[in-house]
Amino acid sequence: MTKVKWSHSGLKDYEGCARRYHEVKVLKNYPFTDTQATIYGKEVHKAFEDYIKDGAELPEYLLEHKPLLDSLNAKTGRKLAEHEMGIKEDLSPCGFMDEDVWVRGIADLLIVDDDGLKAWVFDYKTGNDKYPDKDQLILMSLMVFAHFPHIRQVNSALLFVIKGSIVKHKMTREEAEFHWWRYRERVAVLAQSLEANVWNPTQTPLCGWCPVKSCEHNRNH
């Protein structure tokens, strides 16, 4: 079967619509263009990273988030901002850009408490909190277990910094195998599409905003 390199966002895109995934991610017919929202998101991530790593001052328009960042900084453990992790298909850890990487992920903030055998993963979200996706937290927890074999529990959270809401998740090492098998099943479907070169479209309410104008489900077709 065709080997796949994937990420949380890539797998989510494929499951949302295989046709769009193929056109955008595989053929790269529609290069990504930043919007005002994505530019703001990048600015927030960079400012938060610099504050945690280097103690840099926050821009004035982000000062309202200083108490949140200070509470994260106060947690016991090593602070690893924008921490890149890769996993091989045999579930062993590897570098983010290694040739045999199977899945990649980046933790906005990873805190590793070596003595307490616990870790925290935080992902900053600048969008709407209406449909929070815990799947991202599950995958990042699995990657932490692979890269830090002494860690027994991972607490994780989506931090919706604009909305001021938090979505939490907790996983123990004993639960990891079950979740990895779920991912293997999902990625196998993607591998089958790659092998057969079959990319069926999925009609959703988001079709009108899809860049693939040639699709029969796009209202701009």
Secondary structure of 4-16 as H, E, C letters: CCEEHHHHHHHHH
Q: What is the pLDDT at residue 111?
A: 98
What gap in Å lies between CA 85 and CA 103, rounded to an integer?
Answer: 9
Beta strand 118-125 with 153-160 is parallel
Contact 76, 116 (CB under 8 A): yes
Angle at which helix 36-54 crosses helix 66-73, to 10 degrees, equals: 40
- Put simply, whether the predicted model's pTM sits higher than 0.85 gets the answer yes
Mean pLDDT of 47-58: 96
Give the CA count within 13 Å in the CB-facing half-sphere of 139: 26
* Residues 193 and 14 sit within 8 Å (Cβ to Cβ): yes
Predicted pLDDT at 2: 67
Q: What mean pLDDT is predicted for residues 82-88? A: 98
Distance of CA 122 to the CA centre of its chain: 11
Domain 6-209 class, CATH top level: alpha beta
Q: What is the pLDDT of residue 26?
A: 93
Indicate the average pLDDT of the chain: 95
Alpha carbons within 13 angstroms on the beta-carbon side of residue 140 total: 29
For residues 6 and 16, give the distance between their C-alpha atoms in angstroms, rounded to a whole number.
Answer: 15
Distances (CA, A) of 77 to 20, 164, 167, 171: 41, 24, 21, 18
**What is the average per-residue pLDDT within 66-88?**
97
| 194 Cβ contact partners less than 8 Å away, ≥ 6 residues apart | 2, 4, 26
